A = this chain, B = another copy of it.
C-alpha cells in the first residue's frame, strides 16, 4: 500500500493565496532546497503563527551559541526520538547527517543516542535532553550542576534548554497535524 503523501491532516491553503512575504520565503526555499518544507505549509493555515514559528526556529537553531549547529540538531533529534515524532526525526535526522558528514550519527540520534561515541560534554547534554523531555518534573539543581561540571555555562544551559523546549513544541504540532516530511529528506546524505 503506498504510504501517505498528504502534508497535514488539518488542511493546507493554496500557496498562491499567501501574503507576499510568505510567498517570497516559499520561493527562497525552492531555490535553496528544491522544495518548501511541509512544516511551513502546515503552519501557513495561520500565517502569523508561521511567522512566529520561523522567527523562533531561526533564532534557536541558527544564531550564535556555545552549542554548535550540529549539537543543536543532535538535541533536536534526541527530543524527537523520545517523543517518537516522525516528521522531526526524518527532517532533523537529515540535518545531522548533513552537518556531521556521518550518516550513522544521524541514525544513532534517532534510534537510541546511548549507542553513540560521544565526549562527556555531549553525553551530559543528551542525557539532560532526555530527562527534560520525558520527566521535566524531576529536573532540579542537581541536573544543572552536572551540566556545569561538564563545561556548560549558564548561557549554554539556556540555549540547550530552549532547543529542547522548542522541539517539545514542534514535535507536538507535527504529531497533532500528522505532518508528513517531504520525501527529499529521506535520501539526502546517506
A interface vs B, CB < 8 Å?
1-4, 9-11, 45-46, 48-49, 52-53, 55-56, 59-60, 63, 81, 83-86, 89-90, 102-105, 107-108, 110-112, 114-119, 132-133, 136-141, 144, 154-155, 157-159, 161-162, 164-166, 168-173, 175-178, 180, 183, 186-187, 190
Query: Given the complex of chains A and B, what is the CA–CA distance between A142 and B165 in angstroms?
Result: 27
Q: How far is the CA of A10 from the CA of B119 in the complex (A)?
A: 22
B132 engages A2 (CB within 8 Å): no
Interface centre among A2, A59, A111, by most chain B C-beta atoms within 10 angstroms, is A111
Q: Judging by beta carbons under 8 Å apart, are B176 and A165 in contact?
A: yes
Select which of B3, B110, B144, B161 is within 8 A of A102 by beta carbon: B3
Given A186-B104, A186-B107, A190-B190: A137 touches B112 (CB 8 Å cut-off): yes
Can you add 16 more A-B contacts, CB < 8 Å, to A4-B116, A141-B178? A1-B118, A3-B108, A4-B115, A9-B141, A46-B155, A49-B59, A52-B52, A53-B56, A83-B137, A104-B183, A115-B178, A132-B176, A158-B176, A158-B177, A165-B170, A168-B169
Query: Once bound together, how far apart are the Cα atoms of A107 and B89, in whole Å?
Result: 10
Docked pose: A60 CA to B45 CA in angstroms? 14
Q: What are 8 A-to-B residue pairs whose CB atoms are below 8 Å? A: A1-B118, A2-B102, A10-B154, A141-B178, A144-B178, A165-B172, A165-B176, A186-B190
* A contact patch SS: helix
Q: How far is the CA of A157 from the CA of B97 in the complex (A)?
A: 34
Nearest B residue to A65 via CB reads: B46
A117 & B165 in contact (Cβ 8 Å cutoff): no
Distance of A122 Cα from B183 Cα, bound (Å): 23
Contacts of A84 in B (CB 8 A): 81, 111-112, 136-137
